[in-house]
Structure 1
Amino acid sequence: MKIEIGKDFPKFFKPLYQEEFELFSHFETTAGIPTVLFAITTWKENGKPNVCFHSWSCFHGDKTAFFAVMGNLYQHTHTYTNIQREKCFCINFLPISYYDKLIDTIHQNDLETDEFEVGNFTLSQANVIHAPIIQEAFINMECTLKEVQDLSGAGITAMIIGKVEHISVDEKYAQGYERYGKDGFMMLIPAPQNILTGEPNQSAIASVNIEKYD
């Protein structure tokens, strides 16, 4: 038997925090789909570096180009404004050991704040775009802005599509599978709802455990 959840909000769903279902669709907690966590870095209009801890994204392309498709980026944020202005951004992949430092940049993110200082990150210049990069990241992905879409039309979030122009990989991660496990990609499991009782669960942070080679 399958439990059916429709587009109308299930009245028995209880929020984990007061504004949860003002920020997110109930489908997100119904599905609880894991996605990779990373830091978007841009320049603020006053020249201060900005860090945005983000998920809800995918990466794909064909032989002609490779794209970063970032969903659910709030339109009121510095990052959204910076990307619109600069037409570029950098994606930085860090392991779980940097989680707390990235959370600090969420809580200290005023216009005048140097968010690299907040996270104690080493700032480097991107190779081919005008954006700061986090030196500690094991992969830096430099992107130019290709497209912005407000999928819901509500003016709340946007989907940002970036064309990848350059990638830098830490030599320690250059052979391949070092990018997985506790020192590799960090994953968000977004608060999977108990859809039998409606009780909330916390979001979880995970790493990739390789089970099989194809």
Structure 2
Amino acid sequence: MKKEISIFEKPERFNDQYLQACGNMSWYDFVLAMPSLVFVVTGWKANGKENACLHSWSSFVGSGPGNFICIMNKVDKGGHMYQSLKETGVCVLNFPSNDIYERCIKTIHNNEFDTDEITAAGLTAETASKVNAPQIKECFLNIECEFLWEHELFEGSKEVAIALKAVNVCMDSEYYNQSKLGRYGKSGYLLYVDQPTNPETGETTEFGPGIMEQGIPLPLITK
């Protein structure tokens, strides 16, 4: 039986202060626990230091032969990443495998303005090929991007959606060969999952970064 779940009626634990501390989340983030790709956005801060922001809540889509677009759906206007994008107009999206995820988490804590955030997290910064931004050597995929536009999530929101256009891709050959490491499975893309929550009891299930396993191929039916 399906249950209607109000966005306003929630267990006491999920009060406004708790949701704010979790990253300005909605109660529905925990109820739905929808997965999205994990990556680290890198660029230069105004003082020339490396900026690295562990990110999710985004979507990727091609639109014609020359356009591959990333929509980052939740970017804080008060953060270093937003400021870097506005000042430079470029960034790199770096996709980690599970073996370096713990180091990527450290970018959250090593985020002072005077910190080289890639280096402080125990990762290696290298120069991107097509845009003026650093990228992470240890990540198996780097997507170099140019800023297209931004839009508030709603009027007066502290966060915006930002569109980026890919101008270059660098991928480890062991990953684009699916018979070797591949892009899926334990060594490939990571998915962020908010802790799945029982909307009636408020009980949460701890959940680490998810992975994608291949399903059974089905024929494409066009008519």
Normalised by the length of structure 1, the TM-score is: 0.92
1:114 shift after superposition: 0.6
- State how many pairs are aligned: 213
1:19 shift after superposition: 2.4
Match of 2:4 in 1: 4
Query: In the superposition, relative to structure 1, how do residues 80 and 29 fare at CA in structure 2: closer, same or farther (>3 Å)?
Result: same
State yes or no: 1:53 paired with 2:57. Answer: no
- Provide the rounded CA distance (Å) in 2 between the counterparts of 1:108 and 1:102: 10
> Which residue type is aligned with residue 154 of structure 2?
S
- Provide the rounded CA distance (Å) in 2 between the counterparts of 1:16 and 1:41: 32
- Match for 1:207 among 211, 214, 219? 211
1:203 shift after superposition: 4.5
Query: In the superposition, relative to structure 1, how do residues 103 and 111 fare at CA in structure 2: closer, same or farther (>3 Å)?
Result: same
State yes or no: 1:99 paired with 2:101. Answer: yes
C-alpha offsets along residues 114-147 of structure 1, whole Å, 9 cap, x if unaligned?
A: 1121122221111111111111111100110011
Match of 1:197 in 2: 201
Match of 1:123 in 2: 125
Q: Can you give the 5+ residue segments of structure 1 that lack an aligned partner in the other structure? A: none
Normalised by the length of structure 2, the TM-score is: 0.89
| Alignment RMSD (CA, Å) | 1.9
Matches within 5 A, 1:171-182: 171-176=173-178, 178-182=182-186
Match of 1:14 in 2: 13
Work out which structure has the larger RCO, using CA pairs closer than 8 Å and 6 or more positions apart in sequence.
1
Aligned partners of 1:16 and 1:201 also within 8 Å: no
Q: Identify which range, 10-19 or 198-207, moves more after superposition.
A: 10-19
State yes or no: 1:79 paired with 2:84. Answer: no
- Provide the rounded CA distance (Å) in 2 between the counterparts of 1:199 and 1:13: 11
- Provide the rounded CA distance (Å) in 2 between the counterparts of 1:46 and 1:39: 20
Aligned partners of 1:13 and 1:195 also within 8 Å: no
Match of 2:167 in 1: 165
Q: Identify which range, 152-161 or 184-193, moves more after superposition.
A: 152-161
1:176 shift after superposition: 3.5
Query: In the superposition, relative to structure 1, how do residues 112 and 3 fare at CA in structure 2: closer, same or farther (>3 Å)?
Result: same
- Provide the rounded CA distance (Å) in 2 between the counterparts of 1:74 and 1:145: 15
Percent sequence identity is 30
Aligned partners of 2:110 and 2:121 also within 8 Å: no
1:201 shift after superposition: 3.6
- Match for 1:155 among 150, 154, 157? 157
Aligned partners of 2:40 and 2:93 also within 8 Å: yes
Aligned partners of 2:11 and 2:200 also within 8 Å: no
Aligned partners of 1:75 and 1:155 also within 8 Å: no
Q: State the SS of the aligned residue for 2:197.
A: coil
